[in-house]
């Protein structure tokens, strides 16, 4: 089960406010100017008179996306129309287990992305989109990083104009923003100007939930739910005498998935008292090792959701 990131927004001003959500642009190699789309937008009444709280949730799954351009990207306009996407892995650090980090774009007979495969070349923490030959004077395409909301909808989060017959490498950044304004999902917005006065929800340390308040003076308060990175094992259950000594990273080694306790790190490695619980999936690849490393790529072969433990070979 993929991990969700949830942002709850409360309007503490005296009037209704429209809020929109967006993500920090990825780091691109092989493209030109980077554009950013809004991910979601809605108007919220004052909390004091309505009790309303706006919730935006997305799945922490890296997604490659491509899209037909209908016109050059312009702030306030939709970025495109027909789109295709694929869940994809990020390239691991040196010595890490292989990931399916590369997808190939097709334009004939229609726009699409192939099932990702593992390739050498993309830098650690990135995925690659291989574009085919096409005539950019007849049709242009957007390509980049997409997000999936918990309802299954896909939005191209940030992108560049794809070049024909080339490799586009994309390194996603797990920083999300909330700002006042009304940009519907898939609409191009100005990241630089909007982010200056926006609330930042930084998920890179492992935070999964954010409570954001918009204040009457136009400022923001952001509270992150307790990060499992800072918790000892079973801290969520109130245990006081257990200390985490093991760490599970994503397959690419770019994100901490969970921490727990291991007697040793000889295969098979069993890690107990996982925090957060239910964060590890059977038959998925992870980087496993002592907190701070060194890590080794291992396959999760067993998960016990009742005891919050997992075994890796």
Q: What span, in angstroms and rounded, lies between the C-alpha atoms of 216 and 234? A: 39
State pTM to two decimals: 0.72
Q: Which residue has the higher pLDDT, 39 or 272?
A: 39
- State whether residue 134 is helix, strand or coil: coil
pLDDT digits (tens, 9 = 90+) for 76-129: 999 998 899 999 999 988 878 889 999 999 999 999 999 999 999 999 999 999
H-run or E-run covering 50: helix 47-50
Q: What percent of the chain has pLDDT over 70?
A: 93
**3-state SS assignment for residue 205:** coil
Tens digits of residue pLDDT in 117-171: 999 999 999 999 999 999 999 999 999 999 998 888 999 999 999 999 999 999 9
pLDDT at residue number 207:
81
Residue 53: the pLDDT is 95
Cβ pair 246, 290 in contact under 8 A: yes
pLDDT in tens, 202-258: 988 778 889 999 999 999 999 886 444 333 323 333 333 346 788 999 998 888 898
Q: How far apart are CA 102 and CA 274, in angstroms?
A: 31
Supply 25's token pair: 């642009």
178, 80, 167, 23 alpha-carbon torsion, rounded to 10°: 0
For residue 68, pLDDT over 90 is answered with yes
Q: Which of 304, 235, 306 is nearest to 270 (CA)?
A: 304
Structure tokens at 125: 């923490």
Question: How high is the pLDDT of residue 152?
Answer: 87
Helix (H) or strand (E) holding 48: helix 47-50
**Residue owning tokens 């994100």:** 255
Angle at 227 between CA 226 and CA 232, to 5 degrees: 95
Helix segments in 113-232, DSSP class H:
191-196
DSSP class of residue 266 equals S
Strand pairing report for 112-113 and 102-106: antiparallel
Across all residues in the chain, what is the average pLDDT? 89
pLDDT given for residue 150 in this prediction: 86
* Partners of 104 in the β-ladder: 130
pLDDT given at position 216:
96
> 15 pLDDT band (50/70/90 cuts)?
very high
Those residues whose C-beta lies under 8 Å from the C-beta of residue 73, and which sit 6 or more positions away, are 35, 79, 142, 161, 188
Q: What torsion, rounded to 10 degrees, do the Cα atoms 117, 122, 124, 125 define?
A: -70
Banded model confidence at residue 275, pLDDT cuts 50, 70, 90: confident
SS3 of 226, please? coil
């Amino acid at each position: 089960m993929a991990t969700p990131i949830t942002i709850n927004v409360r309007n503490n001003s005296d009037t209704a406010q429209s809020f929109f959500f967006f993500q920090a642009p990825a780091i691109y190699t092989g493209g030109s100017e980077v554009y950013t789309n809004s991910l979601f937008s809605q108007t919220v009444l004052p909390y004091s008179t309505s009790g309303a709280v706006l919730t935006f949730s997305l799945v922490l799954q890296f997604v490659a996306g491509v899209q037909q351009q209908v016109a050059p990207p312009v702030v306030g306009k939709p970025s495109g129309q027909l789109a295709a996407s694929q869940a994809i892995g990020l390239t691991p650090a040196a010595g890490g287990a292989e990931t399916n980090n590369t997808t190939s774009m097709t334009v004939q007979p229609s726009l699409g992305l192939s099932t990702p495969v593992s390739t050498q070349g993309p830098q650690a923490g990135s995925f690659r989109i291989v574009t085919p030959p096409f005539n950019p004077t007849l049709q242009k395409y957007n390509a980049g990083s997409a997000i999936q909301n918990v309802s299954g909808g896909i939005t191209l989060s940030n992108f560049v104009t794809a070049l024909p017959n080339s490799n586009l490498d994309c390194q996603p950044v797990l920083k999300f923003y909330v700002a006042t304004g009304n940009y519907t999902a898939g609409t191009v917005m100005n990241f630089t100007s909007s982010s200056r006065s926006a609330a930042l929800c930084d998920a890179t340390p492992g935070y999964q939930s954010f409570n954001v308040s918009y204040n009457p003076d136009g400022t923001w308060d952001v509270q992150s739910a307790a990060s499992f990175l800072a918790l000892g094992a079973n801290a969520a259950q109130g245990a006081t005498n257990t200390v985490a000594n093991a760490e599970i990273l994503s397959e690419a080694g770019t994100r901490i998935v969970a921490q727990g306790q291991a007697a040793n790190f000889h295969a098979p490695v069993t890690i107990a008292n996982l925090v957060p619980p239910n964060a590890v999936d059977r038959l998925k690849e992870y980087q496993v090792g002592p907190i701070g490393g060194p890590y080794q790529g291992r396959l999760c072969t067993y998960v016990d959701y009742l005891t919050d433990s997992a075994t890796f070979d």
